Amino acid sequence: MRINLNPPADATAKNESTTFLMIRFAITYSVFLLIILLLMVHLHRVSTTRSEEDFWNQDQSTFESAVSLLDNNFTTMDSITRQLSMNTKLYHLATMKSTDDNDFYLSGLTMKQSLASYMYSYNELPFSTYFVYLRNSGYIISVNTFNSEQLYYIRNYLSSGANFNEWHDLLNNNLTKDSALYPLSDFMLPESGNAYLYVLNMDVLTYKDIPATVAFHINEQTLRKIFSGVSLGDTGYIIAVDAQDQPVFSLSEDKNTSSEKDLNTLTESVLSLSYDDNNTCVHNDTHIMRIASKTNDWTFYLVQPESIYPSDYQFIFLLILFAAIIGGLIMIFILVRNNMRPILHLDDQLQETLHANTQLIEEAAAIRPVLYDNYLRQLMSGVITTPDELSFIQNYLHLEDPSLHYYVLYGVTYENDPAADTFPNENTSTESSESMKDIIAGLLARYFSYENNLYLCSPKKHIYAVLIPFSGTADEILITLQEKALKFHSELLEEYSIWFFAGIGLSCSFTNIWESYQQAKDAAGYTSKNYIFLPYEMLKKDSHVYYYPAEFSTRLIRSITGGNKSQVIEIFNLIHQENIEERSLPFQLLRFLLTDIRNTLLKARFTYTGESTPQIAEIDTMLSQDELTFRLCEDISIKLCDFFASKSEKNNLIDSIVTYIRENYKNPALCLSKISDEFHISESYFSHMFKENMNVNFSVYLEDLRLTEAAHLIEKGESCINEIALEVGYNNQTSFRRAFKKKYGVTPSSFGVQS
């Protein structure tokens, strides 16, 4: 037997191929490992140079957040004071100088109960209690008492009455300033801990002349809680100074309050230093940050020892990086060994993604006609007043081309009745099924589509409004549209025995589609069997009747209150053209027209119910003039438009909506559509805007508002559970109980027992 010691040629080739692949893999791994090592060295260098900077930036961000939180708290205290200033009972009590009248004590006790309700709404603020000092009578109202200032001082501060005169001067000092923060170390026992008194003068803070001062008692412990995230180390501290570089308060790890001399020394030391563009500096192994308050004239200084920077950070970083490299190598090995497994897995994921994408496309295609119809209704009814919403709809409809102009075709369908001499009544039409509506829509799409899109909406049964974009000459397009409308009518009449009477408005821009829609609607009203298609420009204008439909009045009010000056001017141009230029109204009819316009302007004027301003006073003077002219009405509308535009800039729309919700949340009918109608915006736009600004859905916000008020009423115990549910806006008792238990963890009846 002869044995061949050499392997077969195929086996040799396979071994050579395997060896070659192994060499290629070895080279690939070596290059990959080399790249990882180079990246590791680079990352190590970057981390050593930037980690410390990142640490201090993070520390500064924490300090800024704490200062911002403190600013917000002080702003809320200012807001509480302003709300108190609007209380007529408090104003009446503050202006009373004699304490002999029984009405004085009765008013004080009533006001004390009101202060308790304010305290319930702001229990998350850093003050433990607050009181109102009445400078005329020398009395103090708080949540728990209504006494003279001396008796209040003895009960709440030093019972011996020591330092009372200084405390009295503290409440009456700096009456020209709106606020101040005073330490209370001289007026409290040492074991009571440090505290401060935040004093707000109502005379300066509000526009009313109220001789009263609001004071909030702030414990140092609450200030420490606000700055708890800021690391001070063993020797660090925080100092706040006012606009005159005088210290306001300080915090340090040593909870014993520093002496006034030490505090002044520390303040002088941080003020004398030079700071870089980031408001930081390093001095004697100490890192110092400076932040200015956004709500008052205070400046906060954070002094920290450099030693708080973790020195072992680099070592930990290297360990993490090394572990990541090892994990990466293991992952690479697994991927190479099972190279087909992830590919197959990715293929499955791709198929799932394609399937999900197909479903999304189908859902989008299903809802797209609904959105198109809704947006077209808004355009043609003219309820859109904000440029942002108009631009959004224009982009959604793919009509961004600025060279486009538009016609609106308004058509009405009737059943053909050969035995009748007049048109059949609309209510007797056989076009009641959705199939007939789809057939008409299909025929309209064949004749009036633009780039394979039909911009069609049906405001009412038997009525079809088509938006027709074009970029050519208006006259040529109008002739073409007339031919198409006649062919469309002929086909509809022959195939389905349906008459189609249509009017078409004048050409317009995208912002004035509502105008062409109104013209087309008017023109359609003049059609007959002899004139089934009628352009608006062919109408004979009756000089014995002025043209000012109710839609114009509504649209003019919306445009004025929305601050849309260009829309207002366009409406007046249209009114002038229809009545002065085309109808040449006689003097008496012109006076009637101007009176109607003034009535519309009065409605727009009295949508503003706030305080009188110079602009409002001027507008009221113009509206009261006996001799009306068209130019005067136009000037009044423009001034009103400018006023509402400036008012809108100062007060964000979302603030107005939130105020409206808080004032009307007890109304069971309050919902998304009601608010959208009230503020003349679409539901989708309002929902998106509310979630973006408030970080919560509208329904969740409304329910939380109602349940919070319900809990307050249950604690008072003055009404039964069913009455409370109705009072806060719930019609369904079961829904109220379910929502209450979800929020508070107990039923309303159990909550009342616990409280």
Q: Measure the CA dihedral 283/288/294/298, to 10°.
A: -70
Banded model confidence at residue 650, pLDDT cuts 50, 70, 90: very low
597 domain residue, yes or no: yes
Q: Quick check: is 60 in a domain? A: no
CA distances from 625 to 556, 572, 598, 618, 750 (A): 21, 20, 10, 11, 64
Question: Which of the 8 DSSP states describes residue 450?
Answer: B
Q: What's the confidence (pLDDT) of residue 65?
A: 92
Q: Is 694 exposed, middle or buried (0-12, 13-18, 19+ CB in 10 A)?
A: middle
Q: Does a structural domain hold residue 327? A: no
Tens digit of pLDDT for each residue in 296-315? 888 999 998 887 877 665 66
Residue 424 has pLDDT above 50, yes or no: no
Number of domains the chain is built from: 4
Task: Supply 475's token pair.
Answer: 């006259």
* pLDDT digit string, tens, across residues 482-516: 888 889 989 888 888 888 889 998 898 888 888 88
| pLDDT band with cut points at 50, 70 and 90 for residue 562 | confident
Say yes or no: 677 and 726 in one domain.
Answer: yes
pTM of this prediction exceeds 0.85: no
- Asked if the model's pLDDT at residue 432 lies above 80, the reply is no
Burial class (CB in 10 A: 0-12, 13-18, 19+), 163: middle
- Whether 174 maps to a domain, the answer reads yes
Distance, CA of 588 to CA of 579 (rounded, Å): 13
- Residues 181 and 221 reside in one and the same domain: yes
Among residues 597, 622, 650, the one where a domain terminates is 650
Residues 247-269 pLDDT 10s:
888 888 765 544 555 777 878 88
Helix locations, 417-473, DSSP H = 434-448
Residue 316 pLDDT > 50, yes or no?
yes
Same domain for 232 and 141: yes
Query: What pLDDT digit, counting tens, does each position of 18-65 carry?
Result: 555 556 666 676 677 778 777 776 766 776 667 777 888 888 899 889
Of 491, 499, 483, 447, the C-alpha closest to 468 is: 447
CB 170 within 8 A of CB 153: no
Q: Is the pLDDT of residue 718 over 80?
A: no
**Band of residue 753 on the pLDDT scale cut at 50, 70, 90:** low
Distance of CA 631 to the CA centre of its chain: 38
Statement to judge: residues 638 and 691 lie in one domain: no
Instruction: In whole angstroms, give the CA distance from residue 577 to residue 506.
Output: 13
Higher pLDDT, 419 or 448: 448
Place of tokens 């025995």: 497
Q: Average pLDDT for residues 3-28, to the nearest whole number?
A: 54
* Residue 427 pLDDT exceeds 80: no
| Pick from 495, 601, 501, 503: nearest CA to 548 | 601
CATH code assigned at 436: 3.30.70
Average pLDDT over residues 609-624: 83
* Local structure of 153: helix, strand or coil: helix
pLDDT cut 90: percent of the chain above it: 4
Helix (H) or strand (E) holding 288: strand 286-292
Q: Which residues contact 214 (CB under 8 A, 6 or more apart)?
A: 80, 81, 84, 130, 131, 132, 133, 199, 200, 202
Task: Quote the pLDDT of residue 15.
Answer: 53
Q: How far apart are CA 325 and CA 294, in angstroms?
A: 46
Q: Give CA–CA dist 64/61, Å, rounded.
A: 5
Q: Would 502 be classed as within a structural domain? A: yes
Q: What is the pLDDT of residue 269?
A: 82
CATH code of the domain in which 713 resides: 1.10.10.60
- Of 197-211, 337-351, 399-413, which range is least confident? 337-351
Identify whether residues 286 and 434 lie together within a single domain. Answer: no
Most confident of 237-246, 376-385, 432-441, 608-617: 237-246
Residues 522 and 564 in one domain: no
Q: How confident is the model at residue 410 (pLDDT cuts 50, 70, 90)?
A: very high
Helix or strand run (H / E) with residue 481: helix 474-496
**CA 413 to CA 398: how far, in whole Å?**
29
Shared domain check, 217 and 281 = yes
Percentage above 70 pLDDT, the chain: 83
CATH of residue 291: 3.30.450
Residue 426: predicted pLDDT: 43
Q: Are 153 and 292 members of one domain?
A: yes
Looking at the structure, tell me whether residues 376 and 525 fall in a common domain. yes
Residue 408 has pLDDT above 90, yes or no: yes
> Do 513 and 630 belong to one domain?
no
- The per-residue pLDDT of the chain, averaged, comes to 79
And the tokens for 199? 């004093």
CB-count burial class (<10 Å; 0-12, 13-18, 19+) for 231: middle
Tell me what pLDDT residue 469 has.
Answer: 92
Residues 102 and 86 occupy one common structural domain:
yes
Are 489 and 412 in contact by the 8 Å Cβ rule? The answer is no
Residue 124: half-sphere exposure toward Cβ, Cα within 13 Å = 6
User: Would you give the end-to-end CA distance of the chain in angstroms?
Assistant: 105
pLDDT at 704 over 70: yes
Q: How confident is the model at residue 123 (pLDDT cuts 50, 70, 90)?
A: low
265 or 215: whose pLDDT is higher? 215
Instruction: Please compute the mean of the pLDDT values over residues 156-169 and round it to a whole number.
Output: 85
Cα 149 to Cα 92, 169, 491: the distances in Å are 19, 12, 92
Domain that holds residue 685: 653-754
For residue 79, pLDDT over 60 is answered with yes
Q: Report the alpha-carbon distance of residue 662 to residue 706 in Å, rounded.
A: 9
pLDDT of residue 284: 78
Give residue-wise pLDDT tens across range 434-486: 678 888 888 898 888 888 888 998 888 888 999 999 988 888 888 888 888 88
Cβ(533)–Cβ(487) below 8 Å: no
Q: Quick one: 646 and 657 in the same domain?
A: no
* Residue 92 neighbours by CB distance under 10 Å: 13
Residue 428 neighbours by CB under 8 Å, 6+ apart:
415
Tell me whether residue 448 is in a domain.
yes
Type of residue numbered 68: S
Q: Give the tens place of pLDDT for each residue, 88-118.
A: 888 888 888 888 877 888 888 888 888 777 6
pLDDT, residue 422, reads 37
Confidence of residue 406 (pLDDT cuts 50, 70, 90): very high
Contact 406, 509 (CB under 8 A): yes
Looking at the domain assignment, is residue 286 inside a domain? yes
pLDDT(649) > 70: no
Structure tokens at 425: 């009544």
Picking from 626, 650, 674, the residue at the C-terminal end of a domain is 650
Task: Please enumerate in sequence order all residues whose Cβ is within 8 A of that of 139, keeping only pairs 6 or more positions apart, or say none.
Answer: 99, 108, 146, 147, 148, 149
Residue 431 has pLDDT above 50, yes or no: no
- Using DSSP bridges, classify how beta strands 127-134 and 212-219 pair: parallel, antiparallel or unpaired: antiparallel
pLDDT value at 409 more than 90: yes
Is residue 410, in this structure, part of any structural domain at all?
yes
Residue at token pair 């290297």: 318
